[in-house]
Chains A and B, each alone.
Chain A
Amino acid sequence: MLKKLSRRAFRRSLWVYHCNSGACNGCDIEILNVLTPYYDVERFGIRLVGSPRHADAILLSGAVTRPTLPLVKKVYQAVPAPKLVFAVGSCAIGGGCWYDTYNVTGGGEKAIPVNYFIPGCPPRPEAIIYGVALALGLVDKKVVPVELKQMEFPVDMYRWQRLLETNNVIYKLLGEEDDRLNFGGKRDGQDSAG
């Protein structure tokens, strides 16, 4: 639904508010950089605005620190719906290299709902433009979502470990067909039966 909405509502005009919640400036200067002549996002109707009340989207950069956490929430509330939130850079995504220090609460998602993540330290201007364009439906996704599932092994993957437990010897990992590890098949058969 969000996708449809942003394609319809924001496609030709998206006003973004840049919210620095405790970044190192790296992401911030790249965000400013996309406005300058080489990248020029205004051709997509994207503008930086000074107040969250004028904005359609928030570009969040930096880990959310303890003092800025309530402020970031306020900024989110001040943006009129429908709204999009982009987390720009590693810190805004998951807290970066100081994700667990005493004054950092973590990534942007801990404070407000985030719609799109733009990774990088800092992300290149092209990456930021691509992320926003993706949200607006101007480009296609380059990756598809991967569903993670426990693999079912055709062989018993815990066999070596059981052998170690019963015999207390570490076996060198060799091919499945190797006779030296098969223990005549008898013990193995008992194992799987048990």
Chain B
Amino acid sequence: MSRAEELSRRLREELGNLVLDLETGTPGRLFIDVSKEALGKVAASLKNQGARYQAAVAYDARKTGQGFGLIHTFAFDRDSLLVAVRTFAPEDDPEFESITPLIPGAGWSEREYIDLLGLKFKNHPEPRRLVLSDDWPEGIHPLRRDVPHDLMPPAAEEVAFRLEKAPAGTSIIPFGPFHASLHEPAHFSVYVDGEDIKGCEYRGFMTHRGIEKLAQTELTYNEVPFVAERICGICGSVHSVNYAQAVEAAAGLKIPRRAEFIRTVMLEIERLHSHLLWLGVAGHLIGFDTVFMQSWRIREKIMWLAEKITGNRKTYGMVIIGGVRRDIERQRASEIRVVLTEVEKEMLALEKAILKDKAIHKRTKGVGHLSKEAAVSWNLVGPVARARGLAIDVRKDHPYAAYDEVDFEVVTADSCDVWGTLVVRVKEVYEAIRIINQCLDKLGRLPEHEPLSLVLEGPVPSGRQGLSVVEAPRGEAVHYVLTGDDNRPERWRVRAPTYAHLQAVPDMLLNNKLADFPIIVGQIDPCISCTDRVLVIKLGQGRAELLQKQELERISRSRRKER
């Protein structure tokens, strides 16, 4: 009996009539419809069985008379199973039970819909504004169907961030929205006691551009991949591949094998350049500019390579629904191999220099510590989780594209700090090179000059759900698509890895030195544009009351005064 069947049987036993519908049609996916009352129970049951929370998707289903829909998605990494639990609330009472007390990582997902759809969550610990800007008027929820995509309520001047008060005994150091250590607009309000960070509040979502709304109102299925690519300039093709996979899953399409290999190659090329980029930025953040210059010098070869293959250094424009747009021919493949050999050689030299450098050891070891248990409870993914000993990797756990045919290793470290993430990312560069080489070998054996994409027969059926995950350089990116009429998705939800990571940043910062702030935030490789997609900001947790070393601090403070 497969895991999906076992799980559905168990849920039926536990909840009886509260489970309305179970759909196990797609391998590796389970779509469940439950009644509203059962949402908390299902979430608890899934959590107890070891599921990892991914994201929430809410949408306006008033057109069909169902009110508002809310979907929580979970992943069973060992069993290659993704579960989406859907429930509806009536239009006049859009209140759901909050699962945040149970799963802290769901906090943002739920707050997002308080803003965007006007939903309410019972027992949510922090039902504050997250996505919309401070001067956005109450009562207008942009993701609702009756709100046009270009609605722009008049701006209120001089609205300040509504941040929490600093806990007693600490002072506030503001970072951002524009700050030398943050390359994207985001505001961190860091509470410090002397040099030590005692808490942090985050207000982000400043690059929210309303992309999901745009896809639901203005674009068509095949235009979305190109806009999806522009969610993020670094991991763009992750989003376009992910979206295309979600639509293909919903429509039941099987794309040509050659196209799957080409997608894999592009994803790994992107991982190569992204990891080298991170390495450089990390070096820059700890004041070691040589690493910055050297790793970007190596990276430049990959940018040129991407331009050779696709015609653009970034935003490749390779993916459409049903396949890819350009081939990687035999001759191009040998060019790629030459570049990869060079990159690997230079990378080995750089790795030696980095991993043996005492300054880097001192700046990264023990910094930004977050335990394995905390990483699980915050649902961390990608290199940040792998640096905490969690061997989760979407490429292995939920194989997509051509990853089921390639052989690679999931790199983990167990130091639980910035050093671990650095080691994981450096090692993953070699794994990426290995994967590309294997893909090129297998591409060479597939027949050339065959169509690289499917020709769709008729429109994509409406009302189908598609759930797709892709391992972005930063971790797992989740795309959910509910197909609709008018040749465009009814709902498209993007959850970038940084969405999960940023929620854990206050925990990572706690009790570290202020000077380490940039690299601690940097260890998650924050990609704020991915996270924000839709709107504006904030979050945080002042944890000052929980300090255990308070006594020690009091003494050190009085000593300072004596001087």
Contacts and interface: CB of A to CB of B under 8 A. Distances in A.
Contact of B297 (A37, A96, A104): A37
Contacts of B534: 103
B292 interface: yes
Interface in A1-49: 18-30, 32-33, 36-38
B293 A103 contact: no
Contacts of B149: 100-102
Interface residues on A, range: 35 or more
Contact of B315 (A50, A100, A122): A122
A57 interface: no
Contacts of B277: 29
Interface string B338-358: 000000000000000000000
Contacts of B209: 22, 63, 65, 98, 101, 103-104
Interface stretch (A69-77, A138-146, A150-158, A172-180): A69-77
Interface stretch (B229-237, B246-254, B373-381, B500-508): B229-237
Contact of B314 (A18, A20, A21, A26): A26
B178 A37 contact: no
Contacts, number: 150
A103 B124 CA distance: 26
B234 A103 contact: no
A148 B116 CA distance: 44
B450 interface: no
Interface stretch (B152-160, B390-398, B405-413, B552-560): B152-160
B296 A33 contact: yes
A131 interface: no
B180 A50 contact: yes
Interface string B300-323: 100100000000011100000000
A19 B183 CA distance: 8
Nearest to B149: A101
Contact of B155 (A51, A69, A96): A69
A105 B209 CA distance: 10
A20 B155 contact: no
A58 B180 CA distance: 14
A36 B158 CA distance: 38
Contacts of B135: 66
B214 interface: yes
Select the residue from A20, A27, A71 with max chain B CB neighbours within 10 A. A20
Contacts of B529: 22-25
A65 B314 contact: no
Contacts of B297: 36-38
Contacts of A96: 230
A28 B183 contact: yes
Interface string A110-126: 00000000000110100
Contacts of A33: 296, 300, 303
Interface in B504-563: 527, 529, 534-537
Interface in A148-193: none
B417 to A, nearest CB: 25
B227 A97 contact: yes
Interface residues of B, number: 55
B366 interface: no
Contacts of A27: 233
Contact of A36 (B133, B210, B300, B527): B300
A18 to B, nearest CB: 8
A80 interface: no
A32 B300 CA distance: 12
B231 A24 contact: yes
Interface in B32-49: none
A67 interface: yes
Contacts of B303: 33
B315 A121 contact: yes
A46 B159 CA distance: 35
Nearest to B152: A102
A107 interface: no
A25 B235 CA distance: 9
Contacts of A30: 313-314
Contact of A68 (B136, B147, B158, B206): B206
A5 B80 CA distance: 63
Contact of A101 (B133, B205, B213): B213
Contact of B206 (A22, A26, A36, A105): A22
B1 interface: no
A122 B152 contact: no
B105 interface: no
B535 A26 contact: no
Given A26-B233, A38-B300, A66-B136, A20 B536 contact: no
A26 B234 contact: yes
Contacts of B205: 67
A75 B185 CA distance: 12
B142 A20 contact: no
Contact of B177 (A52, A71, A121): A71
Interface in B206-248: 206-211, 213-214, 227, 230-234, 236
Contacts of B178: 19-20, 52, 71, 75
B457 interface: no
Nearest to A38: B300
B134 interface: yes
B151 interface: yes
A121 B300 contact: no
Contact of A97 (B179, B180, B230): B230
B184 interface: yes
B150 interface: yes
A65 B300 contact: no
B233 A28 contact: yes
Contacts of A36: 280, 292-293, 296-297, 300
A14 B184 CA distance: 22
Contact of A20 (B184, B300, B313): B184
7 contacts: A23-B207, A25-B527, A26-B232, A37-B297, A103-B142, A104-B209, A122-B314
Interface of B: 132-136, 142, 147, 149-152, 155, 157-158, 177-180, 183-185, 205-211, 213-214, 227, 230-234, 236, 277, 280-281, 292-293, 296-297, 300, 303, 313-315, 527, 529, 534-537
Given A50-B180, A102-B147, A102-B535, 7 more contacts: A20-B184, A22-B206, A22-B207, A65-B208, A67-B205, A102-B210, A104-B209
